[in-house]
Amino acid sequence: MDITELILDDHREQRRLFAILEQIDPKDVDVLAAIWERLAAFLELHAQAEEEIFYPELLRVGISARRTRRVEDETLDAIGDHNDIRDAVGEVARHKVGSPEWFAAVAAANTANGDHMAEEEREGLTDFRRLAGLGERHRLAVEFAAYEARHYAGVRPVDKDPEGYVEAVEEQSATWSKGSLGIGPMR
């Protein structure tokens, strides 16, 4: 088991749920609402799990490998993307389910999420596979799976300041810059 694979599995499920929404008759509002509710909750749960588990570790291994600027930029961008996705999900809620405006808002959420996933798959996940060993990726996969299982009913969406997020994670371990990295997630 590898955290990067679990994240990719979540991405595939998100794409599948968006595709299902595109194929349902606009008059089937109960079905549309049920699938959207599931997808909206899943998008937030996935973002929170990444913010709690994946991105702190990407920063840690990147700093250890002297790729600080790159992993900081990737993390800043990802947290900003998560905020954009949260905003897009919030916009969907402003429209009547099944209306043209609702479908347009769902499409905008799909675009924001798709752009984020593509970038994350190209950059953050690739870098993490290069910088973190399989044992570390396995340990984090267990933690990631447990986090999502514990919060299966959803989590409360909260926008984060990307720069404040990176600063807080980096401050959790002042020893990073001194080369004395601990093993395990920074909490």
pTM score of the predicted model: 0.86
| DSSP result, the chain | --HHHHHHHHHHHHHHHHHHHHTS-TT-HHHHHHHHHHHHHHHHHHHHHIIIIIHHHHHHHHHHTT-HHHHHHHHHHHHHHHHHHHHHHHHHTTS-TTSHHHHHHHHHHHHHHHHHHHHHHHTHHHHHHHHS-HHHHHHHHHHHHHHHHHTTT--------HHHHHHHHHHT-TTGGGT-PPSS---
How would you write the pLDDT of the chain (187 residues) with one tens digit per residue?
999 999 999 999 999 999 999 999 999 999 999 999 999 999 999 999 999 999 999 999 999 999 999 999 999 999 999 999 999 999 999 999 999 999 999 999 999 999 999 999 999 999 999 999 999 999 999 999 999 999 988 888 888 899 988 988 888 865 555 544 443 444 3
